[in-house]
Chain A
């Protein structure tokens, strides 16, 4: 039997087509959960903890070790003319007396930028020194003449490796190295 279009239109007007999602996603009504209603569920959940199915491990909590340091606490802040940047502590090798007020003296409201942006704006008073991994770790001395050159410099000196500021330990010297070998 053919249904007249008028009847179909009338039916659609009375019973509008609901999206499938709306029918499927009909909200669930419930009384708000209470402590008493949740206790038995938690008991069951605890008993069926899926981690119990895995091989158990014991020992110290590894997350307590090697926890990343707070960035600001582990950095030196260099500020000048309303702009501040951060470099790792011990990356500033030398600060002339007249620039000391630019170190760790961040003014609230200063813009914080990355090192490369800051250095580009402040090349007039900052000098960078490329160092090796061995020098950064204090296992190799600075190259000959560099120490003297740094002593004469009127600029602040920052140690970098391929343009990235890097911390540097003081050279531990042959005596310390001998001790390390002996203890090994």
Chain B
């Protein structure tokens, strides 16, 4: 590969790194400063690291030759207080290394981080270009490796997770150019209760190591997986008869999906999933968070929602990007008819 083409590659790589972000080595509106670091490979013995300066929409030719072993470009962002750095993206550039992209789709339209729920599917879109197939082509140009890692957050929210501890679940070679989609009905993040797993799955494409360069990450993306919510209604029991005022209800909801609504409703009759009822006052919540939430609500003075005697049902529901989930329900009876049994007698 000529030096000119090689430099173009580097410029392309740097531009790709920056595009989604505010700029390299520039302070962003929210107080973060981005840095691009170029690491020459192999790292040993020369240990060459150089910081690259590129404006938000610019690009730059690498003054360091990429041949023969390639270089890794890392996009970091730094928060001043407390001083913390985050690795946002990496791109490996080499003479004959293929290019790969990984994107993850779920039913949640949230754009910041791909995310889904423990019971919902997701799709992984992978595109590889630049693979060669000639007999004399280097091994690293003929195939790339796809890795699937899973990592549980335990009971946490992932902010302090050590990603070096992720578990490699499977690995395969990709030997043909073009797009492909992998569909997963559920996440495989470890956890004893499958409805309550929380963590992330990461799909990465790596180049294959050869005599010139070690295996290097070409593309990577992860999806966050949050638990299914659960809830309970207390203060009323199944089959209970309400004769006077409605009892005070306590609604306990756990692991509410980060983008969702929660409400309790009442309708006449026995429970039927999908019935639309009257929303209990004080039971409606709108959640717009980045991690699951827990809430404890108290509902009182809801007599007016019941217009007659008979069987009634109160339900606790959550509406999410995946649909409406019923978390709990209780059917009970209302009997407010006053019956007076009397006799009329006369005395002579």
Contacts and interface: CB of A to CB of B under 8 A. Distances in A.
Interface string B21-54: 0001111000001010101010101111111110
Given A38-B119, A57-B173, A164-B52, A70 B63 contact: no
A164 B147 CA distance: 34
Contacts of A74: 37, 49
A66 B216 contact: yes
Interface residues of B, number: 83
Contacts of B325: 29-33
Given A39-B194, A62-B206, A116-B25, A165 B87 contact: no
A3 B161 CA distance: 67
Interface string A10-42: 000000000000000001111111110111011
B53 A29 contact: no
A165 B38 CA distance: 11
B272 to A, nearest CB: 10
Contacts of B143: 55
A172 to B, nearest CB: 8
B315 to A, nearest CB: 10
Contact of A84 (B26, B37, B80): B80
Given A38-B195, A58-B171, A72-B78, A29 B274 contact: yes
B186 A62 contact: no
Given A70-B85, A88-B37, A112-B33, A29 B323 contact: yes
Contacts of A41: 119, 185-186
A86 B35 contact: yes
B50 A63 contact: no
Contact of B217 (A52, A66, A109, A167): A66
Interface in A57-101: 57-59, 61-68, 70-72, 74, 84, 86-91
A44 B188 CA distance: 12
A153 interface: no
Size band of the interface chain A makes with B: 35 or more
Contacts of B80: 84, 109-112
A163 B63 CA distance: 10
Interface of A: 27-35, 37-39, 41-42, 44-46, 49-52, 54-59, 61-68, 70-72, 74, 84, 86-91, 106, 108-117, 133, 136-139, 161-167, 169
Given A28-B324, A108-B81, A112-B78, A66 B35 contact: no
A62 B215 contact: yes
A66 B72 contact: yes
B323 A113 contact: no
B194 A114 contact: no
B278 interface: no
B68 to A, nearest CB: 13
A87 B25 CA distance: 11
14 contacts: A30-B326, A34-B228, A41-B119, A42-B188, A54-B172, A61-B168, A63-B166, A66-B217, A72-B85, A111-B80, A115-B51, A139-B46, A166-B49, A169-B45
Contacts of A31: 273, 325-326
7 A-B pairs closest in CB distance: A114-B25, A137-B46, A28-B323, A62-B215, A54-B172, A33-B119, A71-B85
